Amino acid sequence: MAQKTIMLNCAAGMSTSLLVKKMQESAQAQGKDYEIFACPASEADQKLATEQIDCVLLGPQVSYMKADFEKKLDGKNIPLAVIPMQDYGMMNGKKVLELADSLMA
């Protein structure tokens, strides 16, 4: 089992999958055993109910859903953040991984 599990959410789970790959490469290079995956925001409830999630990141295109996610995560002690537009646009896996790490610290 992975040391930490990070879930990225976006509209359809497509654009975020490339960022997941970049984050996985960065985690591997740092010797971190992380499970990182992307899914559509519509599947978030199911994933939160069936998997041990340590951090939730939202793609900038679904930042308007942050309040909904805060309600979903209420009382679960799972940090939540919106991925900065610049890091998302540049597919900067290292920076987004640093964001997740700072939230899980």
What are the catalytic residues? 10
Q: Taking CA 4 as the corner, what is the angle to CA 67 and CA 60, rounded to the nearest 5 degrees?
A: 35
E strand or H helix at 4 = strand 4-10
Distance (Å) of CA 4 to CA 7, 44, 55, 105: 10, 17, 8, 11
Strand partners, 47: none
Q: Side-chain half-sphere of 83: how many Cα atoms within 13 Å? A: 34
